[in-house]
Structure 1
Amino acid sequence: MNYWTEDGRHPYFIRVEGVLAGFVLIREIGTAESMNYSVAEFFVMKKYRNQGVGQYVAFYLFNTFKGKWEVAQIDSNLPAQKFWRKTIGRYTNNNFQEIRKDEWEGPIQIFTTGIR
């Protein structure tokens, strides 16, 4: 519920030709001088996967929100890891880091947008 009421949270519905195809939740972390963004949730319905929809939406969000990004996936979600590595790699020309944090069980890609 907080994504529709709190500052620093941005919900999006994904539509393809007017039909609901998924949703995205983006979270701001930090201050105006040093803003960081994270993808809290990113879901594209199976019917619309592998058609470029997810990459298009991700690129739109990276272009909209300038700053440092963290995109995390759980260890067991191998399709998400493949998608994000490929998508972030294309967007950044492979200029990203992949790290792990003690409080998260899976890879996290870190990169900065707005510096191209």
Structure 2
Amino acid sequence: MKVSLVPIAENERPTLERLFQFYLYEMAACLALPLNAQGSYAYRPTLLDGYWTQPEHQPFFMVVENDAAGVEAVEQELAGFALIRRYPQDPARYDIDQFFVARKFKGQGVGKQALANLLNQFPGKWQIRVLVENEPALAFWQSAVRQVVGQHYEHSMDLDVDLMMHFFRFEV
């Protein structure tokens, strides 16, 4: 299985917004997000605007390519998204703002491959922020960061605006 990062064009934003609902569904377990009357999770759409208006923001779809045995065609499937940016409080550092792997692909190395692809494409200083309440994400990021950068990272707890978070910081 090969994982590619495909830049998200502005006309593909509706696809990202549909995936974002699945992301919010998973985050609801940590943040107790309410469903609105239409059965979706409310969020400020402006949260995503910067990914097409600010050059330091980069949106990507994760695409999995499966080469089925005995079949010549390679099947591609959308597997999630990664939204990265320069961190506003430290513009010299890349920040994974939002990261989502569809449930079907969890535990198959898709997220770790996507992380490795991001780091190869954007060498430099990085950080990953994880909500304290999001224990599954914390376990994933501890494993993924260790696999991709070895022991060469810093793990700390700090406030990010008004939320306590785990921070993983490293340079590649």
TM-score bracket for this pair, using the shorter chain length? 0.7 to 0.9
Aligned equivalents of 2:127 and 2:149: distance in 1?
Answer: 13
How big is the alpha-carbon RMSD for the aligned residues of Structure 1 and Structure 2?
1.3
Aligned equivalents of 1:52 and 1:106: distance in 2?
Answer: 24
* Structure 2 match to 1:15: 63
| 1:111 equivalent in alignment to 2:111 | no
More helix by share: 2
| Alpha-carbon offset, residue 5 of structure 1 | 2.1
Aligned equivalents of 1:52 and 1:102: distance in 2?
Answer: 29
What's the TM-score, normalizing by structure 1?
0.88
Runs (4 or more) in structure 1 with deviation over 6 Å come to: none
* Structure 1 match to 2:51: 3
Aligned equivalents of 1:39 and 1:93: distance in 2?
Answer: 18
Q: Which moved more, 1:46-55 or 1:21-30?
A: 21-30
- Cα contact 2:94–2:127 (8 A) shared by 1: yes
What's the TM-score, normalizing by structure 2?
0.60
Aligned equivalents of 1:58 and 1:102: distance in 2?
Answer: 24
| Uncovered stretches (5+) of structure 1, i.e. residues with no partner | none
Aligned equivalents of 1:111 and 1:94: distance in 2?
Answer: 10
| Uncovered stretches (5+) of structure 2, i.e. residues with no partner | 1-48, 66-75
Aligned equivalents of 2:101 and 2:61: distance in 1?
Answer: 10
**Number of residues paired by the alignment?**
110
| SS of equivalent residue, structure 2 residue 131 | coil
| SS of equivalent residue, structure 1 residue 89 | helix
Letter of the 1:14 counterpart: M
Larger radius of gyration: 2
